[in-house]
Structure 1
Amino acid sequence: MKNQKLYNGLFARVLLIMIFFFGCLFLIGKGFYYNAVLAGLFGIVLLVELYFYIKNQFSFYDKILLSILRNDFSANFPEENKKNNFRNLYLLYDTLKFQKQEQTSKELIYRSILDNIDTAALILEKEDEDWNIFMMNDCFSDLFKVPKVSHWKYLKNYLPSLCDEIEKVGFTDIKSAISIKIEDQDLQTFVLQTSQTQTYDKEYFIILLDSIQRVIEKKEKEAWINLMKIISHELMNSLTPIRALSQNLLQIVDQEKLEEEDFDDIKSSISTIINRSDHLQVFVENYRKLAMLPTPNKQMTPINALFDDCLRIMNPILKDENIELINEIKSSRSILIDKNQMEQVIINLITNSIYALKEKTDKKMFLSSYTDNNRFFIVISDNGKGIDPIIKDKVFLPFFTTRKDGAGIGLTLSKNIIEAHGGYLSCQTDEDKTDFVICLI
């Protein structure tokens, strides 16, 4: 119905041309040649008008279809075309134009996000068998002093080491460290991470690079901020009541005459000040343990001897708590460690597991060890309450604890000791089991 006017217009014009054409033949047959010529001229005029009418209609079709094919939505069309014969076609054009504008807006937002992150990002787009640069963020361009080139072969002229590394593995997923020389500077080490993705008939390759030094600095800054928050919290918790009580004492002793109850207030205030001072002293001592950890005095130590000594200390506590110990450590090998420091780590981890098993009825603790890629692993596990995912990233922070009587340095100290040995301490937890894994190189 919407194109009815178009069909009616064509039909009327064709009908008029046919009437004049047959009328012309009829007049010739009757011998009215002058009238026949006149009718023929009118028919020719109508035929020419029909030609231009159809041409105008198809011209609009061509123009709007070319705009869609070329992805160019800047053209403006007459209002009558939007309402009459080409309503559906213009509706398609308008819909695609809106989608294009929406897509452009999203691309600008995505590009803005990429340009404002601290990680160097490069996105490649595959065309035939060649890779072209689809997007390069400002961080990548600034960090490596590279102009925003459009082809992979041009990028190779600026960063041959990076391009050779990616080509060597055939544009597959990578997660590793890479050394890159930037202009005349020394080699710098970066964390390289790549991934492939495909959308319809397009294939993309994403490259992310981050300076290891910047990652370390960021982690160090976060660690310092967290540590300062904890220290400030502890100091204020003690200094605030000490100051308040000191002011109260000053007011009492300034009185001309002291009553008996004033002496009770003085004793109570002094007792509280001593308690808070003791707390501060313990806090400082614990901090000194973390900050002044001695260098490990490493000696070859049998694994069995290490655990026998630790369990000799902890077995009475395990029995009192009705904890079933499943010891699967049967290694006869020796490792190069500071035995006293490593005993402290194992006792800390076993104590941590004992606390986690407090609310369980069926209490089990597991000790195991294994070797993988020339690294020795010790695993201390329990089937306790586990670690809440909310606090999982905080368990190794200094002075962080969920225990009322805890100092919050056990896991931090253990982690520092293992790292001083050149290894690492990690934690894995699920609903049924929590593992603390010691890795020693």
Structure 2
Amino acid sequence: MFKSMKKLTERLELRSIESILTLFIGSCLLALSGLTVFILWYSSASVLVVCSLLVLLICPFALLCWYVRSALLNPFYRFSAVLEAIRHEDYSLRANPKFNQGAVKLLADEITAMSLELQSRKSQYDQQAVLVLRLIEQLATPIVVLNKAHKLHHANEAFSNWRKQPWQTLRHTNADDLGFTLAENKWQLSDESHIAKWQLRHSQFTMQEQSYQLLVLTNIEQVVYHTEQIAWQKMTRVLSHEINNSLSPIKSLAQTLQDMLKGNDDFANLDPALKVIVERSTGLMQFVNRYANLSKQFDVHIAQCEIAPLLHSVSNLFDYPIEIKCDAPYVLADKVLLEQVLVNLVKNAIEASKSHQPIELNAYGQGKQIVIEIRDSGSGIQNTDNLFVPFYTTKAQGKGIGLNLCRNMIEQQGAKLTLSNREDKAGAIAQCWFNI
């Protein structure tokens, strides 16, 4: 019998509990109806009695069967809705079945426990994701987060400065349009000018069950600069020591000879030569001592400094037209060192300017930084690669020390000094970048 029922079920393709319950209820109703008709017919009951009994027996039984069917299936529909909500990360829905005991109640409790556990894990993942994104925003190097479709998901302020526009306006932009290409599972920069200055590193990570690509740009120029700076500092210490050790006795001997030959007319012609030796020794020693300041560690006192009075104070030191525009009230810097840097940069700008054209001295905010810049109207920078090379200068009487000393003073305040040519017209721009 069971085998015949199984064959019948397979023949009818009963693949759901609904169809099985419907078949069971239909079979019960059919069996009850047949049994009732047979009994009444056997007892010679009239047709009216048969119909009345069928209605009185079959209808309540059919309603009871339908209620049982609904009571059995409704918990599954509720569980399905709850699981669908969980799949969409909505953990607020609960099954709340009518059965307070038994297998259905146990299943409902397990689903509720699973929902609470997943909600707790999602909360932890969300907190970790927010922490990661906030950490990325605080880093000074450009960082990009791409989603699985290789579109911009998140970035930081440094990337906005690199692209010269807010990264929020570039959200969901393709990586190719941002200047990144994927070749042989390796991300590369598509712009040749960027390849020469930036190194691209990448890694893959998972956040909120989604796969992301993390691209980090490293400024090669800064690494090279710091390496060169260490090398120049070492060379400075060696040169200063050796030159001073050699010049000091030469200068001393020349001064001693001058004193010994005073009043002796026979050696009067040697006095000018000895004087030259003393003067050149003194000058060379001063030059070496000045160059040693390039690597000097200053006593820096960072404080909130008003910018407008500082710019006017620097301007008053020069008898030259200087236009001041200040759109930033304060800057965190060492006032003494900053003033010295501005004096040197304004002096350079005046020397580079032509026809007594005004110097522009500006201050403004850009993102999370304050920029103080000096603009001149000269011929611009001819060789930007050698700007900060010690001893390199384009001035006839220059020593090639001033810009290096300015950069040393600025960097010890946690800021950055950049020099570039103007884009609007001929001339150069010196910019001091301070973090807010």
TM-score range normalised by the length of the shorter chain: 0.3 to 0.5
Give TM-score, length-normalised by structure 2: 0.44
If you compute each CA radius of gyration, which structure gives the higher value, 1 or 2? Answer: 2
Task: Tell me the TM-score normalized by structure 1.
Answer: 0.44
